[in-house]
Amino acid sequence: MDLQLAGRTALVTGASRGIGLAVVTALVGEGMRVVAAARNLTPALKATGAVAISADLSTADGPARLVERARAELADIDVLVNNVGGGSVDGATGGFLSFGDEQWQQMFDLNFLAAVRTTRAALPSLVERRGAVVTISSNGARTPHAGPVPYTTAKAALTAFGKALAEEFGPAGVRFNTVSPGTVRTDMWESPEGYGAALARSMGVEHEQLLAQLPADMGMVTGRLVQPEEVAALVAYLASPLAGSTTGGDHLIDAGAVKTV
């Protein structure tokens, strides 16, 4: 299927690995010119053919500086993919009382305010181009007990943010959608230094055992974790003109883990 994205431009954040890397690969494969931003530029990201830019989007001025550099490369931005985020901070496997103000601020800076600031900086170009914004949230926004409470709360705010902007900027021709994956095969779960490994230690089980039982524990009816490329395919469709009447939605891709209507 031709998504009619060839020749258009995109800015993707959190692009060095996992979902972000898969999104960059998919959009470049559709013929888009892509600026890919990450704190650390990996060989895999550089190999995609995107313009890779190092940026720390957890800082107050990082997003605006990134958008300025992206526009220098692309002139205009047709598509913004807000993907940067993460669930690992000190004490991430503890309950509410294990998180202090610093951990809450870290989670909101990376998982919510980075998208707010990047979107704000990119909006003049997106309005001019009648573009699209796709923001990666999490199904944890709908099941906030299922992860670190600062992370799932930040993701719930992110989902609400996309809904609000769809209403405000729809008349200007800009579409906003969020994509809410469940458990995806990324470093967050698979890395020995990631949240999954920390969770396994807190439960007293082997990391591999945790990963093997996650689909069943999470209620994923396919019996397997979501692949980053599956999320990327949905993002590419939502970014495309084929989804011209799709806006204001939160699109689950979690193998049926969320059971509510």
Supply the residues annotated as catalytic: 151
Are the C-beta atoms of 137 and 162 separated by less than 8 Å?
Answer: yes
E strands present in the chain: 9-12, 33-38, 51-54, 79-82, 132-136, 175-181, 250-253
Give the whole-angstrom CA distance, residue 158 versus residue 50: 26
* One-character DSSP codes across 6-23: TT-EEEESS-SSHHHHHH
Position 240: which residue type? S
Residues in the chain: 261
- Sheet containing 9-12, strands listed edge to edge, beginning at the edge strand earlier in sequence: 51-54, 33-38, 9-12, 79-82, 132-136, 175-181, 250-253
